[in-house]
Amino acid sequence: MSYGTATSACRAVFVRDFGLVWRRRGDALNPVLFAIMVVALFPFALGPEPKALQQISAGAVLVALLLAGLLSLDALFRSDLEDGSLEQLVLSPHPLALLLACKIAVHWLTTALPLLLVAPLLGEMLYLPRPVLGTLMAALALSTPLLSLIGAVCVALTVGMRRSGMLLALLVLPLYVPVLIFAAGACNAAQQGLPTLAPLLWLGAALALALVLAPLACAAALRISLN
């Protein structure tokens, strides 16, 4: 019996996951709406003065996107677990880490990429200084895949649980802190007119590391929780 190549298996995962998202394309907008609403809360809480909002704009956008990503993480394996296809992935003869990397990639493309596209609008809502926008986008482009990869490992650990929302946040947020520190560090440096390359390079290095290690860790975690 032949199983096909690993490439065709990856293509099948891509086609299936994109198909599933496309059929429920209304849901895909939810993280974006969530992020817009969170950002809209800041002017209500802090008052509408542009100067005060400008001070916190980059950080507020980063935190709003991080939280939106956190809320969408839960859906990464949820439906696959319910219809049993997650077990099939684990049982398949192809490397599980590779298939999971495809799933994480689709998840990033369908939830984080729309957030990335809407980030300039979010910045504008909080009077983000124009020169900082480039740095913010670069920091987001490097940090959102990193957040998805780290988050996927923690989701894999909690996949069997019924109400895992709060627990997932407890597991994921400490690991998100360093990413947030470097991303915010780059934006703060840009706001003060300082060089921003060092924190961005740190993020890039962490992303390179996570791209290799996180799918392997995710596969190991999934095997523990599916047992």
Partner 1 sequence: MNPLLLWFHKLGSPPYFYRLAGRLLPWLWALALAGLALGLYGGLFVAPRDYQQGDAFRIIFVHVPCAWMSLFVYFFMAANGFIALVWRIKLSETLAMAAAPIGAAFTFICLATGSIWGKPMWGTWWTWDARLTSELVLLFLYLGVIGLYHAIEDRRQAARAAAFLALIGIVNLPIVHFSVNWWNTLHQGSTVKLFGPSLIDARMLWPLLTMAVATKFLFAASLLSRARVDLLELESGKDWVRQIALAEEPRA
Q: How far is the CB of 213 from partner 1 (least distance, A)?
A: 10
User: Nearest-CA neighbor of 225 among 146, 173, 164?
Assistant: 164
Site for partner 1 in 205-224 (CB under 8 A): 217, 220-221, 224
Q: How far is the CB of 71 from partner 1 (least distance, A)?
A: 18
Instruction: Please check whether residue 62 is in contact with residue 187, taking contact to mean a CB–CB distance below 8 angstroms.
Output: yes
Confirm or reject binding of residue 164 to partner 1 (CB under 8 A): yes
CB of 6 or CB of 220, closer to partner 1: 220
Confirm or reject binding of residue 173 to partner 1 (CB under 8 A): yes
Confirm or reject binding of residue 29 to partner 1 (CB under 8 A): no
Residues near 110 by beta carbon (within 8 Å), at least 6 away in sequence:
18, 21, 28
Binding segment for partner 1 (CB under 8 A), chosen from 13-21, 67-75, 131-139, 164-172, is 164-172
Q: Is 114 exposed, middle or buried (0-12, 13-18, 19+ CB in 10 A)?
A: middle
Binding segment for partner 1 (CB under 8 A), chosen from 21-29, 40-48, 82-90, 156-164, is 156-164
Alpha helices in 30-128 (DSSP H): 30-46, 50-73, 75-82, 85-91, 96-107, 113-125
Q: Show the CA angle centred on residue 33, arms to residues 32 and 38, nearest 5°.
A: 100
Residue 41 tokens read as: 């809360």
Q: Binding-site residue total for partner 1 (CB under 8 A)?
A: 22
Binding segment for partner 1 (CB under 8 A), chosen from 9-17, 75-83, 116-124, 163-171, is 163-171
